[in-house]
Structure 1
Amino acid sequence: MLTDQQLLRIPGPTPIPPSVQRAMSQPMIGHRAPETKDLLQRIKPKLKPIFGTAQDVVVMTGSGTAGLETAVVNAVKPDDEVLVIVTGSFGERFVNICEAYQINTHRYDSEWGKTVTPESVKEYLNKYPKVTAVFATFCETSTGVLNPIAELAEVVHNNSEALFIVDGVSCVGGVETKMDEWGIDLLVTGSQKAMMLPGGLTFVAASERAWNVIEENEHPRFYFDFKKYRNQLANNSTPFTPAGSLLFGLEQVLQLVEEEGLEQVFTRHTQMMQMTRAAFKALDIPLLTNDQAASPTVTAIKPFDFQVKDLRNVLYKEFGMVVAGGQQHMKDEIFRIGHMGYCSPADVLQTISVIELGLHKIGKQVELGKGTQAAQEIYLGY
């Protein structure tokens, strides 16, 4: 392998387009300068279609977790009851944030690798009628599950007065998202996944219903005070120093999305998912999720006759390819392939071909090219 070559195929951070890297290398400008106001003014309207909302999308300097914490501290009071739907490691993160703020937190745990069903959520809402917010994860990064957010939102609103708050960090920008139409009250994503940027920005949008709750919430907050960000965004500014280089990059990302077309972006992600899944099915290597639960942005594979760490090691040492392992109790049981953002069907074909070689290297008997051919056939069928 080339010593400075890395093939990054994890579910975030993801590769960055060269034009975005060039945009981020521009000379720094003052964060209160007219140039920054103009930049934010250009960015604002282009974020709305990605979220599927008429509301302004707030851009904050911080990781995706900062956005999740912002949602919690602005929409929930310490004496409130909330329900957190946990389908994996990142559903667990919402629990940890809520408990850190001493919020009365009820959790609904679903088996890792499976979606949550609206019927089961309805049962929990009937069990806990006082909840003021329900938290869910759109794409559970740790398992590659895409939860049925539209259906979950409908159940929440038909059976409670609770806000519906969604972590979309590992899929917004790569899958169709209709915040307003579906009834999502707070939606969060981050910069380092389908948004094709380094980590360091989080994006949060709130419905009018959520804003009514936020306005009345007297829970103390400072940096994460969402009202400050909304008020400053109205003036094309930020309450605190923004990550200027990332804003330059964000504008270029939005330009690339506009040029490709948002629907084509979604189609490309679905195509890459189907190519990846077809490849492992052809190689007789089990997938963690079924087709209905699968995310277009990340695929989890659960082998039974070879060690995940052995494959990951040989992929990295011989080819410079990085795929992700599992998390928590699935650390050594699964590996995960990210196919989002700056990723194309050609990248998927390369990934599958290299993995076939890696499997051969660790002694797993596979027919070389069989998975690649299956992925190629999916491509040709589009």
Structure 2
Amino acid sequence: MKEKRTLMLPGPTPIPKQARLAGAEEIIGHREPECEDLLKEVVDGLKYVFQTTNDVLVLTCSGTGGLEASIANTLSAGDKVLSLCTGAFGERYATIAERYGVDVERINFEWGKAVDVNKVRERLEEDKNNEIKAILMTHNETSTGVVNDPQPIGELADEHDVLLLADAVSSLAGVELKVDEWGVDVAVTSSQKALMSPPGVCLVSVSSKALDAGQEADLPSFYWSFQRAKERYDRNFQTPSTPAIAILYSLRESLRQMKEEGLQEVFNRHQIVTKAIRKAAEAIGLELLVDDEIASTTVTAIQVPDEVEYSTLRQNMKEKYNVYITGSKGELKGKVFRIGHLGNVSRSDILSTISALEMVLKQEGFELKLGVGLEAAQKVFYEEESR
């Protein structure tokens, strides 16, 4: 009998049953009042999760489309931006900006390390002529499992009157992000990550400062236009083009569940499963890529042991136990495997994954005592339940 699928990817992620069923609701006209009500509830729920009073725009695309929109709507060709690169997705954000003719200055940090705020401060202080218009940063660097803190970067952005554009695709609803309090002008996320919905919708929080910058921006945008989206919202709370209605049904249900659970409890749940995975990996004898202080609560990166080939590890996890994990990118390709634990991931999912990991590692010649990782994870869960 085939094992039940355990999806432990950084996205797409498992969708709660009620959210899946909601996606099967009858399709409605996107210019009808019912769709306006749907969109209003989704946006209100998103403002709760983004912790913002800013406009939250719904774009029908993946997170990458939202990152592209963040550039196209706030900058002009030749504008200088700082891109804080701590991994593959930081590099991607910089590349998107370059494709639009933006003058990108990368500040590169070692993969597996977080942004050094002092380096950012020093570079902004050197900018005597105020050439820098924006800072690009990745809140949760999915390729390495590192969380970068937007708060001090937001303070610097405010001090130097530059925009802060943040990739929150794999962080929002799994890692706390106080958009307003921390001064994030544009925050981009997508439906298929911690928001526990099907792929296909991108959600973007946009500050008034970013909207004002868009009045002077000369980069081309039509489908991605924040201004068109906001004008349609203001007129009758519709989207400029046909939205992904079925996905919005699912997203609305997932947002309702998060509201019922409470945002802080959502973050706590992510922290607990992260601790369980990290403790289990250490007990097995595996080496974690990043330190606890900067570790993501949505994805954990673990170094592949010398005795094992990554491709074999991934394939056997999938074929023998139907557990889906993934590797890393760029300079870490083949050296690191990643376990996603965001959104609708349960303790039983974690325990199933650790059990499969132990068995595959042992079958591949890695020396370990079966059950040590499970015991470590169980201890974390037991201690949390006993509090």
* TM-score over 0.5 (shorter chain): yes
The equivalent residue for 1:132 is 133
Show CA shifts across 1:93-112 (max 9, x none). 11111111111110011111
| Cross-structure match for 1:365 | 367
Superposed CA deviations along residues 188-223 of structure 1, whole A, max 9, x for unmatched, are 101111011121000001112222211232433111
Question: Mapping of 1:308-327 within 5 angstroms?
Answer: 308-327=310-329
The match for 2:271 is 270
**Separation in 2 of the partners of 1:290 and 1:41?**
40
Q: Are the equivalent residues in 1 in contact too, given 2:198–2:250 (CA < 8 A)?
A: no
The answer to whether the 8 Å contact 1:122/1:156 transfers is: no
Q: Map of 1:171-250 to 2, 5 A cutoff?
A: 171-234=171-234, 235-250=236-251
Question: Which amino acid in structure 2 is aligned with residue 294 of structure 1?
Answer: A
Quote the offset at 1:161 in angstroms. Answer: 1.7
Structure 2 distance, partners of 1:330, 1:79, is 32
- 2:309 aligned residue (273, 284, 307): 307
Amino acid across the alignment from 1:121: V
Partner secondary structure for residue 7 of structure 2: strand
Partner of 2:347: 345
The count of residues paired between Structure 1 and Structure 2 equals 380
Give the equivalent residue in structure 2 for 1:59. 58
- Residue 149 (structure 2) pairs with residue 148 (structure 1): yes
| Letter in structure 1 aligned against 2:18 | S
2:120 counterpart residue number: 121
Rounded to whole Å, the distance in 2 between the matches of 1:220 and 1:323 is 38
CA distance in 1, matches of 2:46, 2:22: 18
TM alignment of 1:39-78, pairs within 5 A: 39-78=38-77
Structure 2 match to 1:330: 332
Q: Which amino acid is the alignment partner of residue 41 of structure 1? A: K
User: What's the CA shift for 1:381?
Assistant: 2.1
- Tell whether the 8 Å contact from 1:78 to 1:101 is kept in structure 2 after alignment: yes
Q: Give 5+ residue unaligned stretches, structure 1.
A: none
Mapped contact 1:232–1:239 kept (Cα < 8 A):
yes
Deviations 1:211-242 (A, max 9, x none): 22112324331111101111212322000010
| Residues 75 and 218, structure 2, Cα contact 8 Å, conserved in 1 | no
Residue 279 in structure 1 maps to residue 280 in structure 2: yes
Query: In 1, distance between residues paired with 2:218 and 2:293?
Result: 42
SS of the residue corresponding to residue 267 of structure 1 reads helix
In the alignment, which residue of structure 2 is the partner of 1:87?
A: 86
Query: C-alpha offsets along residues 54-102 of structure 1, whole Å, 9 cap, x if unaligned?
Result: 1121111000001001100111110211111111111111111111111
Alignment partner, residue 96 of structure 2: 97
Counterpart residue number, 2:9: 10
Cα distance, 1:254 vs structure 2:
0.9
Say whether the 8 Å CA contact 1:90–1:140 is kept in structure 2. yes
Query: 2: CA distance between counterparts of 1:151 and 1:378?
Result: 31
1:17 partner amino acid = P
Q: Structure 2: which amino acid aligns with 1:140?
A: E
Q: Residue 259 of structure 1: CA displacement?
A: 1.7
2:28 counterpart of 1:26: no
Contact in 2 for aligned 1:268/1:344 (Cα 8 Å): no
Quote the offset at 1:157 in angstroms.
Answer: 2.5
Distance apart, 1:309 and its partner CA: 1.8
CA displacement at 1:147 relative to structure 2: 0.5
CA distance in 2, matches of 1:45, 1:26: 21
Deviations 1:337-381 (A, max 9, x none): 000001022211111111111111111111111111111111122
Counterpart secondary structure, 1:182: coil
Query: For residues 264-296 of structure 1, what are the alpha-carbon distances to aligned partners after superposition, in whole Å with 9 as ceiling and x for unaligned?
Result: 111000111111101111112000000011000
* Range with bigger deviation, 59-68 or 298-307: 298-307
Which stretches in structure 2 are left out of the alignment for 5+ residues? none
Kept in 2: contact 1:271–1:345 (CA 8 A) = no
Over the aligned positions, Cα root-mean-square deviation in angstroms equals 1.3
Check the 8 A contact 2:58/2:203 in 1, yes or no. Answer: yes
Separation in structure 1 between the aligned mates of residue 38 and residue 55 of structure 2, nearest angstrom: 15
Deviation at 1:26, TM superposition (A): 1.2
Distance 1:109 1:223 in 2: 32
Task: Provide the C-alpha distance between the structure 2 equivalents of 1:38 and 1:95, rounded to a whole number of angstroms.
Answer: 37
| 8 Å Cα contact 2:304/2:334 also seen in 1 | no
SS of 2:53's partner is coil
Comparing 283-292 with 33-42, greater Cα deviation is found at 33-42
